Amino acid sequence: MAFLFHRPLRVLNWMLILTWLLVGYQFFVLLQCSEWNHIICIALVLFCNYYTLFKLLRDRIILSKTYKDDDSGQN
């Protein structure tokens, strides 16, 4: 458990990497689709994952600034 809570940015970075891979794969699948119903479904899922990616990036920026301020306050 110390691995997870010692550096919370590490967990967030892994989540970002996995989300980027998922979005990239879904975009690739979207480019390969030719049927209109598959295109609409994959596009909707892709937009939901864009929102998740936005939230993760926002949280990562906030956490990195918080830990940077916390580290500078301890010195």
Q: How is the chain split into domains, by residue range?
A: 12-66
Instruction: Show pLDDT as tens, one digit a residue, over the chain (75 residues).
Output: 556 667 778 888 999 999 999 999 999 999 999 999 999 999 999 999 999 999 999 999 998 888 887 666 665
pLDDT at residue number 3 = 62
What is the secondary structure of the chain as a DSSP string? -HHHHH-HHHHHHHHHHHHHHHHHHHHHHHHH--SHHHHHHHHHHHHHHHHHHHHHHHHHHHHHHHHHHHHHHH-
